[in-house]
Structure 1
Amino acid sequence: MSATIKDIAKLANVSHTTVSRALNNSPLIKEATKRKIMNLAAQLNYTPDYNARSLVMQKSYTVGVFFTSMTTGTSSSFFSDVIRGVNSVISENYNLFVRGIDDYKDYLSINKKRFDGIILMSQSDVDNAFIYHVLQSGIPFVVLNRQVEERSVVNIVPNDKEGAYKAVEYIIAQGHERIAIIEGMEGFKSTQERKDGYLKALIQHEIPIREQYFLQGSYDMDSGYKAMERIMELTLRPTAVFCSNDDMAIGAMRAAFDHGISIPHELSIVGFDDIGFAHFTTPALTTVKRPIEQISIEGAHQILQIIKTPDHPVEKIFVDTKLMIRDSVCKI
């Protein structure tokens, strides 16, 4: 049988309440007493009973990480960056619960008994019903990736529109005027933001906007490949393609390769996100760095602060993007 708090209390000659507080790093316990209790716990191989602890503390020791969808429009690289970022911050005393909002018919199971806090990687306005439910439930809450109007929630947002604008402006600076776009998942806020940045650059530089240069994708490599195949069929092909994420850019590069098109000498390609693979494509992919892992790390820090201090100040945090110039764009 494993050691209990009462066993440690008897050996330390203190109350079990003192032991419990020491094990939870309470500032009410003197450091000398805390060290003595921690040493005894280690010697006895004490393992906390989290079920009992949850009942006493009225906490679940679970943080939820929710996506708009885990199956539609969420690339594997985006998903892994989010989880890696959050997991690097959330301590081993918390369990991570990862789920897509679209898995739920209703949100009755999303409550304070099950979650100490929730991080939402929001990708679409369809998340609003979930956001309002969590707020009404009183669960500590952080929304990442998409700017929301609700002022009572911590919101961490990348500047996608400006990032796309800088990318297309760079393409124009290299002499390109026939510039296509492979858009992201229809209905996603990031898709619209990046398209707006693309259009802003064309308009400001008086570049003709051609309807045939708008190709729909869905943030995965396959859709990038198929969109590039449609581009190959155009009578007047573009000289450059802005892809709304790196996964689609990689798919587009493969399609160009399969059609014998040389990148960047015959066709320039730019992506968005700066995933790990962007360094290792041939040629290396010019892209916009959107630090999703860093955003997720900041989101995890924020949720822990809100859990610890419920009156933690609410703020909207904007994270800048950065153009990463590599080898996939050629000067005309």
Structure 2
Amino acid sequence: MVTIKDIAKIANVSHTTVSRALNDSPLIKPGTKKKIIEIASQLNYTPNYNAKSLVTQRSYTIGLFLTSITHGTSSSFFVETVKGVNQIINQDYNLFVRGIDDIRYYSTIHNKRFDGIILMSQSEEDNDFIAYLKEKQIPCVVLNRDIGDPSIINILSNDREGSTQAVKHLLQNGHRTIGLVEGISGFKSSMERREGYLKALIDYNIPIKTEYIIQGNYDMESGYRAIERLLSLDQPPTAVFCSNDDMAIGAINAAFARGVNVPNDISIVGFDDIEFARYTNPSLTTVKRPIEKISTLGANKILQMMSSDNPSEMNGEKIFVETELVIRKSVKPLL
């Protein structure tokens, strides 16, 4: 394996000069830098990040943590999260992805292992992990959930407003009996979307019927089962708001299996606007929640923190990324 010392010998300079040149140091003359880079390229030199880490006291690893990867995180949500972060994190860093529920001991998370952490938080249970990161002064950005801590950079969408907008779209189209398929119990997103649903009904003076509110699990199967239950009622709702698109897709399939037409017999609205939403039959009216954009902003912020001389002293901020109602063909006007 080619080392910095090999390059230094050929270039007739010190290995310190080579190291600085390869790290684009302004202390090295442009001509010398160009010569060293050309030699490194000809020798197919690959940096030894373990050695580099010892010198710089950095791990060159960024952690991307979710509340859980196996429980309550749909494949589309996971892909959008990783995709957004990966667009920004350059080749100088390794990206480590893990669910918090897979961590046995927080003591394995420390500054020598991670230069910074992006947390896609879905539950208040993550608060202990956030407190630990603050205590250990590990640069951290929290996405997706309002944590109410002004000292931390917090990036999220307004799920409650987006849900209200979705249900009001149904109300404006003449629907008065509207079901809700909830997300995982205890998840902040589930509570926010439920609150948005309830607010829309209250604003229109529509009675709230508990039998129309079904617990889901953020996966297609729970959406499928929920619609089966709603369609079995003596008076099924004319429309259903599903707290994410995966459950809405399951709901459309359940209706089809029972010979119920969407949207002629029942209208269905989702939340997230995943890629598959436009390809369902009918195409799904949903709320666009820009997870990829939120993740991209989070990655930019963590890089800014890591490049700061005192990342722990950077001011916290709350950034809202607006949701947007995307109208397609899964809602029938009853007016």
Compute the TM-score of the two structures, normalised by the length of structure 2: 0.96
Contact (CA 8 Å) 2:285, 2:330: kept in 1 or not? yes
Q: Which stretch has the larger CA shift, 68-77 or 6-15?
A: 6-15
User: Residue 57 of structure 1 corresponds to which residue in structure 2?
Assistant: 56
User: Residue 330 of structure 1 corresponds to which residue in structure 2?
Assistant: 332
Alpha-carbon distance in 1 for matches of 2:297, 2:179:
34
Matched, 1:305 2:329: no
Shift of 1:120: 0.4
User: Residue 181 of structure 2 corresponds to which residue in structure 1?
Assistant: 182
Contact (CA 8 Å) 1:228, 1:252: kept in 2 or not? yes
| Paired residue secondary structure (2:328) | coil
Shift of 1:7: 2.0
Give 1:317's aligned amino acid.
I
- 5 Å-filtered alignment, 1:110-189, equals 110-189=109-188
RMSD (Å), alpha carbons: 1.1
- 5 Å-filtered alignment, 1:223-262, equals 223-262=222-261
Render the CA deviation track for 1:163-196: whole Å, top value 9, x for unaligned: 0011111110000000000000100000010111
Alpha-carbon distance in 1 for matches of 2:33, 2:224:
60
Closer, same or farther in 2 for the Cα pair 1:5/1:76, shift >3 Å?
Answer: same
Give 1:316's aligned amino acid.
K
Give 2:152's aligned amino acid.
V
Alpha-carbon distance in 1 for matches of 2:302, 2:208:
43
Give 1:183's aligned amino acid.
E
Unaligned runs of 5+ in 1: none
How many residue pairs end up in the alignment?
A: 331
| Paired residue secondary structure (1:108) | helix
Shift of 1:279: 0.7
Q: Which stretch has the larger CA shift, 234-243 or 49-58?
A: 49-58
| Paired residue secondary structure (1:47) | coil
Alpha-carbon distance in 2 for matches of 1:132, 1:261:
49
Shift of 1:128: 0.3
User: Residue 21 of structure 2 corresponds to which residue in structure 1?
Assistant: 22
Alpha-carbon distance in 2 for matches of 1:34, 1:305:
26
Contact (CA 8 Å) 2:152, 2:315: kept in 1 or not? no
Render the CA deviation track for 1:136-179: whole Å, top value 9, x for unaligned: 11111110000112222111011101100111111100000000
After superposing on structure 2, the runs of 4+ consecutive aligned residues of structure 1 that deviate more than 4 Å are none
Render the CA deviation track for 1:258-281: whole Å, top value 9, x for unaligned: 010000011000000000000100
Give 1:210's aligned amino acid.
K
Render the CA deviation track for 1:208-254: whole Å, top value 9, x for unaligned: 21111100001000000011111011111100000000000000110
Alpha-carbon distance in 2 for matches of 1:81, 1:35:
39
User: Residue 108 of structure 2 corresponds to which residue in structure 1?
Assistant: 109
| Paired residue secondary structure (1:128) | helix
User: Residue 46 of structure 1 corresponds to which residue in structure 2?
Assistant: 45
Contact (CA 8 Å) 1:305, 1:312: kept in 2 or not? no
Alpha-carbon distance in 2 for matches of 1:187, 1:215:
15
Alpha-carbon distance in 2 for matches of 1:166, 1:32:
60
Q: Which stretch has the larger CA shift, 187-196 or 3-12?
A: 3-12
The correspondence for 2:321, drawn from 319, 322, 328, is: 319
- 5 Å-filtered alignment, 1:71-110, equals 71-110=70-109
Give 1:29's aligned amino acid.
I
Render the CA deviation track for 1:27-67: whole Å, top value 9, x for unaligned: 33333332222111101111111111111111111111111
Give 1:41's aligned amino acid.
A
Shift of 1:114: 0.8
Give 2:81's aligned amino acid.
V
Contact (CA 8 Å) 2:151, 2:315: kept in 1 or not? no
| Paired residue secondary structure (1:269) | strand
Alpha-carbon distance in 2 for matches of 1:59, 1:34:
24
Shift of 1:312: 4.3
Q: Which stretch has the larger CA shift, 7-16 or 178-187?
A: 7-16
Shift of 1:19: 1.4
Contact (CA 8 Å) 1:180, 1:242: kept in 2 or not? yes
Alpha-carbon distance in 1 for matches of 2:64, 2:72:
17
Unaligned runs of 5+ in 2: none
Give 1:300's aligned amino acid.
A
Closer, same or farther in 2 for the Cα pair 1:150/1:30, shift >3 Å?
Answer: farther
User: Residue 195 of structure 2 corresponds to which residue in structure 1?
Assistant: 196
User: Residue 212 of structure 1 corresponds to which residue in structure 2?
Assistant: 211
Q: Which stretch has the larger CA shift, 202-211 or 284-293?
A: 202-211
Shift of 1:91: 1.1
